[in-house]
Amino acid sequence: MEAQMAIKTVLFDIHSSLNARMMPFGGYTMPLQYTSIIAEHRATRESVGIFDTCHMGEFRITGKSALSDLERILSCPVTSMKHGQCRYGFICNKNGGVIDDQILYRIGDDHFYMVVNAGTRKEDFQWIQEQISKETSLEDLSDETAKIDVQGPKAPKLLAKLLDDPIDDLKFYTFKQNSFKGVSLISSRTGYTGEIGLEIYCNNTIAAEFWHACTELGALPAGLGARDTLRLEMGFPLYGHELDSNRNPAETGYTRSISPDKEFIGSSVVLDPTRLTESLVGITMEGRRAARHGDILRSSSGEKIGIITSGSFSPCLEKAIAMGYVATKYAELGTPLLVDNGKQQLHGEIAEMPFYQESTCRKAIAKFL
Amino acid sequence: MTPDDRKYAESHEWIKVDGDVVVVGISDHAQESLGDITFVELPEVGAEVTKGSDCCVIESVKAASDIYAPLSGTIAEVNSELDATPELINQSPYDEGWMFKIKGFDAAELETLLDAAGYSSFLENN
């Protein structure tokens, strides 16, 4: 049923013409892979990959009280954001669980743009609508907005050729208004792969033309499969795996996304150190056999200490890696543990994240132009 | 595309008689569906297997899949090349990507399997 009712993105016909294998995701039918997850993953690390991320949601929030409303709704500090800056943060419920993770864009003093996950978009919108002041305007721009990620060490040069305005001034987690063939769009120095590149937000009408222009210059179409292995190598959380409505986001260790000195919805739990019982950890497995979401983590003596939230073979490390939550006393680097998948106990140990250490996302863009 | 020198199970294994053993692997369709194969857990040599029972695991980037014994018998040999290079199954499913050999099988069980044409039409209809 889900596949039949799934929404097609504006790039669906392109995926079909490339014989992509499609999968349901967040209510959409999305490309899992075009040829090979590993090849698409490596192309993004070594050259440039292009991803359809049109399924993601985009909101516009404006008005004199937008800033104070967002300070209350989001875990991250908002007032300190400069125009043209992006910030990652959590939308929490009153119990301190995560409704969604998002990236906030500050366009002006009273003008913000928020990017949220596809599967949670409707719930996010309703929640935010309920929390904001009467004079704050919230609009869902998702249905008219296409999002295309172009990522990898060759992405900046490729994008610089296509975009009308230069991108050499874009620092990590900043954005600017730009255009392609005179049609305006947002070019954002963000991403979910760990590689340098941009996320482009444009009107649906130019999405296919922009995609073709990128692939003609050598960007390799990459699906959600590679997007997932790329983010896992970086230790980035994925909603529904590392984050959900019962998870205290302080347990992710993303302290920079949680303001310690403001009140926000859920802060009575999130900022209370006694409510921190588990820690998000990276795990490297002994071999190629992957741990999977839901597998039980046990100490060497067999005691249940946590759960796997994501796991896969890592194309760059050429072994299996995973993320999971463990009771904080077991979170020390190097701690050996067992992954119980119901049939076997696999050996692993707590490892440093990101797993992949050569990522380019934070490097100066000038080196790639 | 589907070699006609062997038999096929509806669970997508191929079975090729080679003297007193049968060689088992997975079809091109199966490797294509699984995607990049990253790990194979082979059965142990000497293990008794029963037709239709899971005896082996193939992992791709996205998931783990059980592989079923297409015939009853004893595991005679396994392709240990797959430990380090499981991608051989993607690259050469009908040849270098073979998985294991079964001895002591019942020849009558072979007759219950599909031939190449039968497997091709099974794929078209499913």
Here the tokens at position A243 are 């984050």
Confidence of residue A5 (pLDDT cuts 50, 70, 90): confident
Whether chain B has a CB inside 8 Å of the CB on A288: the answer is: yes
Q: What is the number of residues in chain A? A: 369
**Residue A38 C-alpha, separation from nearest chain B C-alpha, in angstroms:** 7
A87: distance to nearest CA of chain B, Å?
30
* Phi–psi pair at A166, nearest 5 degrees: -65, 155
Chain A contacts of B59, Cβ < 8 Å?
288-290, 313
Residue pair A141/A59 in contact by the 8 Å Cβ criterion: yes
Q: Is B111 exposed, middle or buried (0-12, 13-18, 19+ CB in 10 A)?
A: exposed
Whether residue B38 and residue A313 make contact (CB cut-off 8 A), yes or no, is yes
CA A276 – CA A284 distance, rounded (Å): 24
Could you tell me if B73 and B50 are in contact, meaning their C-beta atoms sit under 8 angstroms apart? no
Q: Tokens representing A226? A: 């590679």
What are the beta bridge partners of residue A73? none
CB within 8 Å: B39 and A38: no
Comparing alpha-carbon positions, the chain A residue that sits nearest to B33 is A21
Q: Which residue of chain B is at minimal alpha-carbon distance from A343? A: B57
CATH node for B7-112: 2.40.50.100
Instruction: Give tens-digit pLDDT for A242-260.
Output: 999 999 999 999 999 999 9
- Both tokens of A158, joined, read 């490729």
Q: 3-state SS string over A52-117?
A: ECCCCEEEEEECCCHHHHHHHHECCCCCCCCCCEEEEEEEECCCCCEEEEEEEEEEECCEEEEEEC
Query: Residue B104 CB: number of other CB atoms within 10 A?
Result: 13
Q: pLDDT of A187-245, one tens digit each?
A: 999 999 999 999 999 999 999 999 999 999 999 999 999 999 999 999 999 999 999 99
Residues of B with CB below 8 A from A32's CB? 62
**CB contact (8 A) between residue B39 and residue A290:** yes
| Rounded-to-integer distance, Cα A70 and Cα A132, Å | 8
The answer to whether the Cβ–Cβ distance between B61 and A292 falls below 8 Å is no
Whether the predicted pLDDT of B118 surpasses 60: yes
Contact A20, A11 (CB under 8 A): no
Task: Tell me the nearest-neighbour CA distance from B115 into chain A, angstroms.
Answer: 28
Residue B11 is which amino acid?
Answer: S
Q: Which of A37, A289, A292 sits opposite B35 (nearest CB)?
A: A37
- Looking up tokens 């294509």 gives B32
**Region label for A353, one of left (φ > 0), alpha (ψ between -120 and 50) or beta (otherwise):** beta
DSSP codes joined into one string, A228-279: HHHHHHHT---BTTTB-TT--GGGGT-GGGS-TTS--TTHHHHT-GGG--EE
Distance of alpha carbon A191 from alpha carbon A286, whole angstroms: 29
What band does A88 get if pLDDT is binned at 50, 70 and 90? Answer: very high
Q: Which residues pair with A190 in a beta bridge?
A: none
Place of tokens 């020198």: B5
Question: DSSP labels for B14-83?
Answer: EEEEETTEEEEEE-HHHHHHH-SEEEEEPPPTT-EE-TTSEEEEEEESS-EEEEE-SS-EEEEEE-THHH
Contact between B36 and B90 under an 8 Å Cβ cutoff? The reply is yes
Q: pLDDT for B87-115, tens place per residue?
A: 999 999 999 999 999 999 988 999 999 99
The CA distance from A49 to the nearest CA of chain B, in Å, is 18
Q: How many CB atoms lie within 10 A of CB A82?
A: 7
Contact between chains at B61 and A37 (C-beta distance less than 8 A)? yes
Express each pLDDT in B1-36 by its tens digit.
799 999 999 999 999 999 999 999 999 999 999 999
Work out the pLDDT band at A96, boundaries 50, 70, 90: very high
Token look-up 């043209």 returns A84
| List of E strands, A181-229 | 183-188, 197-203, 220-221
Nearest CA distance, A289 vs chain B (angstrom): 6
Express each pLDDT in A268-297 by its tens digit.
999 999 999 999 999 999 989 999 999 999
State residue A4's pLDDT score: 53
pLDDT given for residue B126 in this prediction? 84
| Residue A204 DSSP SS3 | helix
Query: Does A103 have pLDDT greater than 90?
Result: yes
What is the rounded distance in angstroms from the CA atom of residue A241 to the CA atom of residue A320?
A: 17
Say if A312 is an interface residue toward chain B (CB within 8 Å).
yes
Average pLDDT for B57-64: 93
- Asked if pLDDT for residue A1 goes beyond 50, the answer is no
Closest CA to B9 of B37, B49, B63, B61: B49
Determine whether the interchain pair B61/A38 forms a contact, defined as Cβ–Cβ distance below 8 Å.
yes
Q: Does residue A2 surpass a pLDDT of 80?
A: no
In the predicted model, is pLDDT for residue B124 greater than 80? yes
pLDDT of residue A91: 98
The phi, psi pair for A278, rounded to 5°, reads: -125, 165
Residues 6+ apart with CB under 8 A from B123: B29
How much is the pLDDT for A366? 96
pLDDT tens, A296-320? 999 999 999 999 999 999 999 999 9
Tell me which residue in A33, A229, A313 faces B39 most closely, judged by beta carbons: A313
Instruction: Please enumerate in sequence order all residues whose Cβ is within 8 A of that of A148, keeping only pairs 6 or more positions apart, or say none.
Output: A11, A50, A51, A52, A53, A54, A199, A200, A202, A207, A210, A211, A214
pLDDT value, residue A177 = 97
Picking from A230, A203, A245, A233, the residue whose alpha carbon sits closest to that of residue A101 is: A245
Q: Hey, of A30, A37, A228, A319, which one would you mutate to test binding to chain B, going by the most B CBs within 10 A of its CB?
A: A37
The per-residue pLDDT of chain B, averaged, comes to 95
Residue A19 has pLDDT above 80, yes or no: yes
What CA–CA distances, in Å, run from A94 to A78, A325, A368? 19, 22, 44
| B61 with A287: Cβ contact below 8 A | no
CB contacts, 8 Å: B39 with chain A: 287-290, 313, 320
Q: Which residues of B touch A39 (CB under 8 A)?
A: 36
Q: What is the pLDDT of residues A29-77, one digit of tens each?
A: 999 999 999 999 999 999 999 999 999 999 999 999 999 999 999 999 9
Q: Residue B124: helix, strand or coil by DSSP?
A: helix
Structure token pair of residue B15:
């079975």
The residues in B 49-108 lying below 8 A from A, measured between CB atoms, are: 59, 61-64, 86
A323-355: per-residue pLDDT in tens?
999 999 999 999 999 999 999 999 999 999 999
A39, A225, A287 ranked by CB distance to B62: nearest: A225
